[in-house]
Amino acid sequence: MNKIKITYWQDDKFWLGYLNDYPEYVTQGLTPEELFENLKDIYKDILNEQIPGLRKTIELELV
């Protein structure tokens, strides 16, 4: 099973969150479960290169 780290929180009646590797793509849901499904959809779009201008984060080794 693949896993990815997320950050999420409740703001009033909505649950908000993002994939830690892609914090600029915040989504929401009325329940945590709905939020998690929306985050999975964003991840699928990223994998299928459906998001234009996608920013990526890597760790650069400095010598």
Domain count, the chain: 1
Q: What pLDDT is attached to residue 43?
A: 95
Burial of 5 (0-12, 13-18, 19+ CB in 10 A): exposed
Domain boundaries, position 47: 1-63
Whichever domain contains 20, its CATH number is 3.30.160.250
Q: Band of the pLDDT at 58, cuts 50, 70, 90? A: confident
pLDDT by residue (tens digit) across 11-54?
999 999 999 999 999 999 999 999 999 999 999 999 999 998 88
- The angle formed by the CA atoms of residues 16, 22 and 2, to the nearest 5 degrees, is 90
Identify the CA nearest to 57 among candidates 28, 24, 26. Answer: 24
Angle (nearest 5°) at CA 48 between 31 and 29: 10
Query: Distance (Å, rounded) from C-alpha 15 to C-alpha 30?
Result: 6
